[in-house]
Amino acid sequence: MDAAHAGDLVAGPAALDFAAVGFRARQLTMKSALVEFLAEPETNAPLELVDAVRQGDEIVSGLLRSVQTGRTFPIVEGIPRFVESANYARSFGMQWNRFAQTQLDSANGADYSTQRFLAETRWTRETLDNKWVFDGGCGSGRFAEVAASMGAHVIALDYSSAIDAAAKNLSRYPNVHCVQGNLLQPPIRRRRLDFAYSIGVLQHTPDSSRALAALIHLVREGGELAVVAYAKRWYTPLYGKYLVRPFTKRVSPEALLSAITLSMPILFPITDVLFRIPVLGKAFQFMIPVANYVDKSKFTRAQRYQEAILDTLDMLSPAYDDPLTAEGVDEVFVAERVSKVNFLHRVPINVVATI
> What's the confidence (pLDDT) of residue 139?
97
Alpha helices in the chain (DSSP H): 3-6, 90-98, 105-108, 112-121, 125-128, 142-149, 162-169, 208-218, 240-248, 253-274, 280-287, 301-316, 326-335
Do the bridges between strand 349-354 and strand 219-229 make them parallel or antiparallel, or are there none, so unpaired? Answer: antiparallel
Dihedral sign computed on CA atoms, order 8, 11, 17, 22: positive
Residue 13 is predicted with a pLDDT of 38
In CATH, 3-26+83-232+339-354 is 3.40.50.150: yes
Q: Which one, of 142, 169, 134, 114, lies nearest residue 298 by Cα?
A: 114
Question: Do 177 and 156 form a contact (C-beta atoms < 8 A)?
Answer: yes
Paired strand residues for 157: 136, 179
Using alpha carbons, list the distances in angstroms from residue 61 to 49, 65, 79, 134, 214: 10, 13, 8, 23, 27
In the chain, CATH 3.40.50.150 covers 3-26+83-232+339-354
- Cis before 187? omega within 30: no
Nearest to 136 by CA among 62, 44, 73, 228: 228
Cα dist from 43 to 35, 133, 185, whole Å: 16, 22, 9
> What pLDDT, on a 0 to 100 scale, did the predictor assign at position 85?
79
Distance of CA 185 to the CA centre of its chain: 16
**Taking the chain (355 residues) in consecutive chunks of 10 residues, what is each chunk's mean pLDDT?**
35 40 61 96 97 90 97 96 86 94 97 98 97 98 98 98 96 96 98 98 97 98 98 96 97 97 98 97 98 98 98 97 97 96 97 98
What pLDDT score was predicted for residue 26? Answer: 63
The dihedral region occupied by 52, where left means phi > 0, alpha psi between -120 and 50, and beta the remainder, is: beta
Calculate the CA 345 to chain-centre distance.
Answer: 19
Q: Would you state the torsion angle of the CA atoms of residues 169, 174, 175, 178, taken in this order, to the nearest 10 degrees?
A: 50
pTM of the prediction? 0.91
